[in-house]
Amino acid sequence: MNNLIFSMYFRLEDDELDKEDYNKNVFSRDQQDYYQSHLMLNKISYSKKNNCDFILFDDTDDLNNFSKQFDSDIPKYVKINFYKLHLLDKLAEEYNNILYLDHDVYINKHENIFTSLDTNKIHIWYENVKKEMLSYIHLYNDRDLYSRSYVSKCLSSYLASYSFDWKIDYKKYNTGIILSNSEQIKKLKFQKYFKFLVDHYKMIYCNLDIPESLRKKFVLNNEALFANIVAEEKINVENLNGKWHTMLTGDKSKETFDTGDSNFYHFINKEFKWILSDSRSQ
């Protein structure tokens, strides 16, 4: 059995950052850049401890080649997030078991995830948001959505399902951590769905069966497409919550981090200074 952990790191320039909540995105970019080496070494240490390969993907040329499939107006961060699913699909040809970690994931304990969890399933964090999304559609659809919000992603997944006659999944997924084996990853048929979506997504904006207030809010998003694929291919997904994917989203998350109970901390808030201020990182 050959196991792999992989991650990515691409620094975005100022003009490549999402203009929506720009200052927050500048902070996130700068924090990841400053702590880049520490986060990489953390993952290398874990992979050595558990006798598996580690690859950090940072080849801009390869990313740019992949990105040629998109229209020129698609933001770079959107392309990067689809790129990780492209890599996951590609690496399934070489490795038996694969763990993907976003660059902002910090490994707190060396417990071996490959032996602790059943890789015959796809492990990924999710939560059912059917109630929230339907409430937005029926009651609040005149309100703007933050493009990276879970409701926005779920709405985009829903609009694609409706337009392309795909099955509907009302779950929100976070692709910051994904674990599975090659057989299950191949069942996602990522390249098939990705190519179809990139070639046809503009049809959604023109679908007169969908109210304009909704269809104009469609955005290309890797987690939205992941939901489409899971529903359409009836993928066996296990919720990766608790100690294997603890998300830190605000200042109050410091208390969660300080308990030290989790194996993997996902620093969505990018407060990496908490790591260096803690003896566990030494």
Q: Model pTM?
A: 0.94
Separation of first and last alpha carbons in the chain:
31
- The predicted model gives 246-261 an average pLDDT of 90
Q: Name every residue whose Cβ is closer than 8 Å to that of residue 116 and which is 6 or more positions away in sequence.
A: none
Q: Bridge-partner residues for 53, per DSSP?
A: 4
Whether the pLDDT of residue 5 is over 80: the answer is: yes
pLDDT of residue 277: 61
- Give dist(CA 189, CA 193) in Å, integer: 7
Highest mean pLDDT among 45-54, 208-217, 243-252: 45-54
pLDDT tens, 89-135?
999 999 999 999 999 999 999 999 999 999 999 999 999 999 988 88
* pLDDT digits 0-9 by tens, 8-65: 999 999 999 888 888 898 999 999 999 999 999 999 999 999 999 999 999 999 999 9
| Mean model confidence pLDDT for the chain | 93
Q: Which residues make Cβ contacts (< 8 Å) with residue 98, sequence separation at least 6?
A: 3, 4, 5, 6, 88, 91, 92, 178, 179, 180, 181, 182, 185
